[in-house]
Amino acid sequence: MQRTGTIGGDNVAGQAARDRPGPSGAVLETPRLRLRPGGEGDVDGLCAGLNDWAVAQWVVRPPYPYEPRDALAYIALTATVCGAGFHPFRVIAARDTDALLGGISLEPDGAGAVLGYWLRPSAWGCGYMPEAAGALLADARRRLAGLAEIHATTDPENAASQSVLRRLGFACVGDRPATGCRRGASRSLVFARRL
């Protein structure tokens, strides 16, 4: 049984997320996950995950269909560093096997940042995303001075994503016209929380 702690704070799944050795804190580990830069060995997993309609219908930035060149471009982004060694783009992998489970980003945008994420369907329902996002938000709090507010958008019908955001302490603050929605939704819900 998973023991849950303060998801939106430094205590994730009952334990603090910890930096692991790596370039400038590039690798974060939680009790079950490793958030790390991508590598060439992740290309097939990224393509499989983002070409699965169960995932692709909800995400707006990754192209669809998702090609190996798109995966290599994302992998290059995972080497990006900003602030005091903060890596805004990472892959989510199982801590014990290093198998790719999804992707996560927290892109600084002025005094705030935009949170984005996805998981392969085989990883749904396990509580991985609150664990991964909680670790990334805790790392951002430590490394990005002046970061005040985090935003995320979700399709109004994506109840699972909205549940993740609420567990992380986000609140729905309104809606806006949808851009890039593959499902044809005209509006996106906007969520926000203070860091």
Q: What is the CATH number of the domain that holds 29?
A: 3.40.630.30
Domain-located, residue 81: yes
Domain-located, residue 155: no
Domain-located, residue 125: yes
Q: What is the DSSP string of the chain?
A: -PPP--TTSSEETTEE-EEESSGGG-EEE-SSEEEE---GGGHHHHHHHHHSHHHHTT-SSS-SSPPHHHHHHHHHHTT--BTTTB-SEEEEEETTT--EEEEEEEEEETTEEEEEEEE-GGGTTSSHHHHHHHHHHHHHHHH-TT--EEEEEE-TT-HHHHHHHHHTT-EEEEEEE--S-TT--SEEEEEEEE-
Q: Which domain holds residue 81?
A: 11-147
Whole-model pTM: value is 0.86
pLDDT at 161 over 50: yes
Q: What is the mean pLDDT of residues 123-142?
A: 96
Domain-located, residue 184: no
Span 7-27, pLDDT tens digits: 233 333 333 334 333 444 689
Average per-residue pLDDT in the chain?
87
The whole-number pLDDT of residue 25 equals 67
Domain-located, residue 16: yes
